[in-house]
Amino acid sequence: MSFSWLTCSLLLGTLCAGYSLGEAETRECVYYNDNWRTERTNQSGFERCEGEKDKRLHCYASWLNSSGTIKLVKKGCWLDDFNCYDRQECVSMEENPQVFFCCCEGNYCNERFTHLPDMIGSVKIRPPPRVPSLLNVLVYSLLPLCVLSLALVLALWMYRHRKPPYGHVDLIEDPGPAPPSPLVGLKPLQLLEIKARGRFGCVWKAQLMSEYVAVKIFPVQDKQSWQNERDIFMTPGMRHENILRYIAAEKHGTNLETELWLISEFHERGSLTDHLKGNTVTWTELCHIAETMSRGLAYLHEDIPSYKGEGPKPTIAHRDFKSKNVMLRDDLTAVIGDFGLAVRFEPGKPPGDTHGQVGTRRYMAPEVLEGAINFQRDSFLRIDMYAMGLVLWELVSRCSETDGESNSAGMLLHPQVKGLFASGWPNKQRITFPFVWSLIQCGLSQMCETIEECWDHDAEARLSAGCVEERISQITRTIGSTTSDSPVSIVTSLINEDLPPKESST
């Protein structure tokens, strides 16, 4: 038995040494960038590859083939990718991609590139020599036994000494193929920096060709959230200027190392929470953010018949509406995202998982905290409207044209709000608005009235998203048409004009 183990060790050492020879060190690659003018880089040359010590470096090339005409897109260094390991030549193996892509190891190995989709099938295996040597006999006789023995020992050791890195994960049920998207096959997509972290995973800023995108990465145990958000984005009619633009969904890795990617448009300003932490807003900016935000939620709640051949858009309840899930464009237009907990209400179909107490606790309506939800469509829409009232209050509390005491990082830092949220709004308490707000800024009293009607303890008394949008729009139009510079005269004009009446959420 000792002879057998010694022989196995020698054979495995020899094989491992042989495999290690296949790894070529990559320090420099040929560089080219077809978009060098817009990206303000060199057009061609050489690129020095840098990376972490435990990561391998490669070279890559990407090109287009239009009716036999080759157009080079990019060349350069590529970060650690197991698909590039031990490739000495830059060869694209995909059958008919939209953009050809190949990678390899070794200095300047991407100088030449080619497309050989049938290269695997053309590889021929050489037959063994007619007269086997002693070494061949030992390898063929003992190697299977050695491998089997080592596998059993390793499995036993892992079973006794290691715990699974995650909790219970159903790996048998596959997330399934990602939905078709015109941009799924485009390469290269390179992660640049982490912009946010949360319970779901993290959000990366990434570059897809010449466009910056956001990549939301879910671990495998959050597969349900990834699937739900992907399905919501794929719902007909979900393209709207105030809804986050979806690009693609992809699955990377296998087993416990599986990562689920959701790719969407990227907004440099980040979320409304991020903006309000470091900035105040003017009254004009407040109205613009509030109006576009309510317009996006109203569209989400709306049931729209067939439009442009896409099929009907059902009513969708967000169920985790908060300032952190509202993105801001450069012009402060609001865009609603994060649909991991959203639910669709399609006629004749069950809404799916409608578990009541989900979302973020500080934004939960009283009926959610009390466990007294009526599991109907309108009930979930009214829960969204309660959260809308709190987000509007955050905006008002950070308005630079209100009194100075209100500019204290809004809901996130306000001591009064901390105590109320921690206890779930006991005894139907609400924040009281300073009386001076009704005089110091035109339209502010009407905005506060709208907020109070959004977070009303009686769910059926709350405003709908469409009514909030109409009210804020009317306040904005009235202020824009007023020529007097006197705040009192503007307030008077608003008080004398009736706001849109309250309507139900149905």
Listed in order, strand segments (DSSP E) in 99-188 are 100-104, 113-115
320 is catalytic: yes
Instruction: Tell me the C-alpha distance between 106 and 109, whole Å.
Output: 5
Quick one: tokens of 161?
């000494």
Instruction: For 441-462, give one letter per residue: b (16+ CB within 10 A) or e.
Output: bbbbbbbbebbbbbbbeebeeb
Count CB neighbours of 439 within 10 A. Answer: 13
Angle ∠(114,44,59) on CA atoms, nearest 5: 45
The separation between CA 234 and the C-alpha centre of its own chain, rounded to angstroms, equals 14
Instruction: Tell me the C-alpha distance between 363 and 322, whole Å.
Output: 7
Q: Which helix (H) or strand (E) holds 270?
A: none
Count CB neighbours of 49 within 10 A. Answer: 17
Nearest to 296 by CA among 278, 275, 272: 272
List strands edge to edge, sheet with 28-33.
Answer: 44-48, 28-33, 69-78, 58-66, 100-104
* CB contact set of 71 (below 8 Å; sequence gap of 6+): 34, 63, 64, 65
Q: Is beta strand 90-92 parallel, antiparallel or unpaired with respect to 113-115?
A: parallel
Count CA within 13 A, CB hemisphere, residue 340.
Answer: 20
Q: Which helix (H) or strand (E) holds 247?
A: strand 246-252
* CB contact set of 7 (below 8 Å; sequence gap of 6+): 138, 142, 146
Instruction: Tell me the C-alpha distance between 147 and 8, whole Å.
Output: 8
Quick one: tokens of 32?
């080219």
Annotated catalytic residue: which of 34, 320, 338, 456? 320
Question: Can you state the percent helix, strand and coil of the chain, rounding each to 5?
Answer: 40, 20, 40
* CB contact set of 65 (below 8 Å; sequence gap of 6+): 71, 100, 115
* CB contact set of 94 (below 8 Å; sequence gap of 6+): 100, 101, 117
Cα–Cα distances (Å) from 232 to 240, 304, 310, 314, 377, in that order, read 13, 15, 14, 10, 16
Instruction: Tell me the C-alpha distance between 318 and 397, whole Å.
Output: 24
| 238 close to 246: Cβ distance less than 8 angstroms | yes
Which one-letter DSSP state was computed for residue 375? Answer: -
Active site residues: 320
